[in-house]
Amino acid sequence: MAAGAWALRLAGLALMVSALSLPLMRAPERPVETLVATWAPSPSEFAELEGQLLHWRDQGRTGDPTPLVLLHDAGASLHVWEGWVRALTPRHRVLTLDVPGSGLSGPAPDGDYRPAAQAQRVRALLAQAKVRRYVLVGQGAGADVAWAIAVADPHAVRGLMLINPGRPAHWPPLWRLARLPGWASISTELLPRALIQVQWDELLGPAGSVSAVQTDRLFELTRRSGNSAALPLLLAQLGAPQPALPTDMPVLLAWGEADAVTPLTPARRATLGNQLPQARWAVWPGLGHWPQEEDAARTVTSLQQWLGEAAGGAGPIAWGAPTAAGWSQRLSSASISDWNSR
């Protein structure tokens, strides 16, 4: 058979495969109202601040003078902290929210996802909730927002925990696609569910695991109307340069040792060591880029130890400054106690 005929047959086969697979990939964006029953049961609340819808939860011990505020990564949602919330709420008031551009909060009306803009939205919500002093925890893009909040209002922030902060060195598949031209117009109608599983595969470390429910959640909340267009704008802000923090502010830097997205390279260690010389460090062997969801019990123990309340660890944790000798210095609660006494 002539080469031209073979080429026509192959082209026809490709078109047929595309036609058959297209319905399997079709997953139109969904209005937020269709997702609330599944992903925003009690104690979820919704607030509207300056035109921005915010999905948030306020849980735990009432009367806690210094609540914990937990901020998630780009494309995630407040649900990634549920394991931590269960562990922390017996002793703490804990606030979580879907940071705009992700989850049920959806896109920012002005399209501004710079850390300073996101920080302003979070601070407005905290003011509405009458939270004046708090400990901040941020992971990934949430770490950038937490840093910006600490810069804007250092006297309100009584401690700062940053998990896997900084600009990615490797982009997982969903994020790679989101950075391509034309993503926003195509992704409003098409998103293969299998892509979400591949996304998890690259976010997880070898010791991490997620359930089918977690995969369904990530898929469905990615389909929330407006989130597809917001994702590339969020990703463009990851690892943006940040102003200096007070050098006596208590800081805990934490990392999944197997994080392939923002690996803790010697250069990254050195940069953070210069920016945050006062920081303590925790490294979780075998965990990846979303360690708090991969192994909630082990990772929340690091926070509890930093706050001075955990009797022991739930797995190997290495503390101290990341030097050639390794992480050897045991964490004490002195630094955070001194700051909080002001």
Spatial distance between the Cα atoms of 214 and 205, rounded to a whole number of angstroms: 16
- Verdict on whether the full-model pTM lies above 0.75: yes
Phi-psi domain of 151 (left: phi exceeds 0; alpha: psi -120 through 50; beta: other): alpha
The percent of the chain in helix, strand and coil, each rounded to the nearest 5, is 40, 15, 40
Q: Phi, psi (5° rounding) for residue 196? A: -70, -40
Model confidence at 150: pLDDT above 90: yes
Strand order in the sheet with 134-139: 45-49, 52-60, 93-97, 68-71, 134-139, 157-163, 251-256, 280-284, 318-319
- Tell me the average pLDDT of the chain: 84
Find the helix or strand (DSSP H, E) in which 284 lies.
strand 280-284
Model confidence at 105: pLDDT above 90: yes
Alpha helices of 182-311 — where are they, by DSSP H?
A: 183-187, 193-203, 212-222, 227-236, 266-275, 291-294, 296-306
Mean pLDDT of 226-238: 90
Which of 153, 165, 195 has its CA nearest to residue 272? 165
Contact in structure between 247 and 279 (CB atoms under 8 Å):
no
- In whole angstroms, how far apart are CA 206 and each of 78, 199, 200? 24, 14, 12
Considering 42-51, 188-197, 239-248, 326-335, the range whose residues carry the highest mean pLDDT is 42-51
Domains, in order of start, for the chain: 32-340 (3.40.50.1820)
Mean pLDDT of 298-312: 84
Tokens found for residue 242: 């940040």
Which of 241, 237, 235, 242 has its CA nearest to residue 171? 235
How much is the pLDDT for 193? 81
Find tokens 């948030």 and name the residue. 56
Spatial distance between the Cα atoms of 173 and 196, rounded to a whole number of angstroms: 9
pLDDT digits (tens, 9 = 90+) for 173-219: 889 988 888 777 776 676 778 888 889 999 999 998 889 999 999 99
How much is the pLDDT for 190? 64
Q: Could you give the 3-state DSSP secondary structure of residue 22? A: helix
pLDDT digits (tens, 9 = 90+) for 36-89: 999 999 999 999 998 999 999 999 998 999 999 999 999 999 999 999 999 999
How much is the pLDDT for 313? 40
Spatial distance between the Cα atoms of 137 and 159, rounded to a whole number of angstroms: 8
Spatial distance between the Cα atoms of 11 and 9, rounded to a whole number of angstroms: 5
293's CB contacts (< 8 A; 6+ apart) are: 80, 83, 208, 210, 214
